[in-house]
Structure 1
Amino acid sequence: MTDSRQHSPSAERNREPILAVLREALPASGRVLEIASGTGEHAICFAGALPGLDWQPSDADAQARESIAAWTAHAGLANVRAPLALDVHQPDWGVDALDAVVCINMIHISLWSAAQALFDGAGRRLVDGGVLYLYGPYRRGGAHTAPSNEAFDQWLKSRDPEWGVRDMEAVVALGDTAGLTCERVVAMPANNFSLVFTKRAG
């Protein structure tokens, strides 16, 4: 039988530092939508460590969804749902009344319109006080935070001119427009950052 589980070296490296932030940022219980879940390794790590959460993985890519389902079956976790076929640009995400949205390493490898759609969709679906968590590299004050990030940005743009390491200030501004306040910025290993947004009441 073919094993559909994919492996991501970066997911293996960053899952524990991300989990440390999520333990503080996410509610003890509730429904979490993970957008662009990739291999599914993050989903089973976080859902396994945070059993009070109902974890809904998703990805636009069919092979990624196969990997997510395979990892979920392998882990035997009851609090991870079957992955959704989800592109943030689509009007119907298939879920509402979310306590948290988690999105790791997506907005620099997608169109800026995907970041806009992510915030718009999260802002409309999160309950008051709900959390949007983002992880990845960012520029600050218009400058890269490390030479490696500048090289990464150039590589991304060589693949697609619309991709690239985003300005943190522009991302925070997107949140503000969507009713989401950036409560925490956490410096992470390998020149990445965690951004924690909270949905404002009303």
Structure 2
Amino acid sequence: MLPVAPAAERNKDAILTALRPIVARCRRVLEVGSGTGQHAVHVTTALPHLLWQCSDLPASVPGIAARLAEEGSDRTPPPLTLDVAMPPWPVPAATSPEAFDAIFTANTLHIMSFAHVKEFFQRVGELLAPGGVCCVYGPMKYGGAFTTPSNAAFDAQLRAGNPESGIRDFEALDALAGAQGLTLEDDIAMPANNQLLIWRRAAG
């Protein structure tokens, strides 16, 4: 039986709808923390111009590979083993013709430590092609405040399990992105008290 993430099943249509115009001119997407591979299959089925490269920690790679073998296509190549905290990432450089012009991650930055969040943006800055977009989906805080009581409760649950995890401040993420030459293009309200943040690298 293929692994299934209920959250990915619930949010896949909303994410596809939001991403569709953003990646209309992209051709190669790197997903960091693919989990089960559900987003890769769903998005590439609807958007056949995209190649979607899954990646995750070693424990998740076999499940992703099984899903892509059963439900994927030639636009969903085998998943990469990728640890945010262990550079270099096994992907083409920003100057390569095969560089990724979109990097997507969903429900990961509140799971990893903030030190690893910094590593994530550092690698995005190194590897995203000129003109490319970085898309981050998940719950956020603004000005240090939670957007809903349920997000505050979720944050407490996260920190009880791992004090280094927790819902991130939008302003902190925007500063990390800005330090890598990325400019906020959009902040999209999503269902279930989530956001989709879009940063773009200058084309030059």
2:155 aligned partner? 153
2:166 aligned partner? 164
Counterpart Cα distance in 2 of 1:76 and 1:161 = 37
1:52 aligned partner? 49
Counterpart Cα distance in 2 of 1:122 and 1:24 = 21
1:118 aligned partner? 120
SS in 2 for 1:33: strand
Contact 1:119 / 1:178 at 8 angstroms: preserved in 2? yes
Q: How does 1:72-151 map to 2 (within 5 A)?
A: 72-96=68-92, 97-151=99-153
Q: Percent identity?
A: 45
2:64 aligned partner? 68
2:96 aligned partner? none
SS in 2 for 1:129: coil
1:28 matched to 2:25: yes
Counterpart Cα distance in 2 of 1:54 and 1:126 = 15
Contact 1:112 / 1:162 at 8 angstroms: preserved in 2? yes
Residues 168-201 of structure 1: CA distance to partner in whole angstroms, max 9, x if unpaired? 1111111000111111000000100000010124
Residue 80 of structure 1 aligns with an amino acid whose one-letter code is: T
> Cα distance, 1:73 vs. partner?
1.5
TM-score (norm 1): 0.94
> Cα distance, 1:140 vs. partner?
0.8
> Cα distance, 1:27 vs. partner?
3.7
Residue 44 of structure 1 aligns with an amino acid whose one-letter code is: V
> Cα distance, 1:77 vs. partner?
1.3
Contact 1:28 / 1:50 at 8 angstroms: preserved in 2? no
Residues 123-168 of structure 1: CA distance to partner in whole angstroms, max 9, x if unpaired? 1111111010000000011100000000000000000111000101
> Cα distance, 1:76 vs. partner?
3.9
Structure 1 or 2: larger strand share?
A: 1
Contact 1:28 / 1:53 at 8 angstroms: preserved in 2? no
Counterpart Cα distance in 2 of 1:76 and 1:158 = 37
Residue 18 of structure 2 aligns with an amino acid whose one-letter code is: V
Counterpart Cα distance in 1 of 2:119 and 2:65 = 25
User: Which structure 1 segments of 5+ residues have no match?
Assistant: none
User: Which structure 2 segments of 5+ residues have no match?
Assistant: 93-98
Counterpart Cα distance in 2 of 1:124 and 1:27 = 23
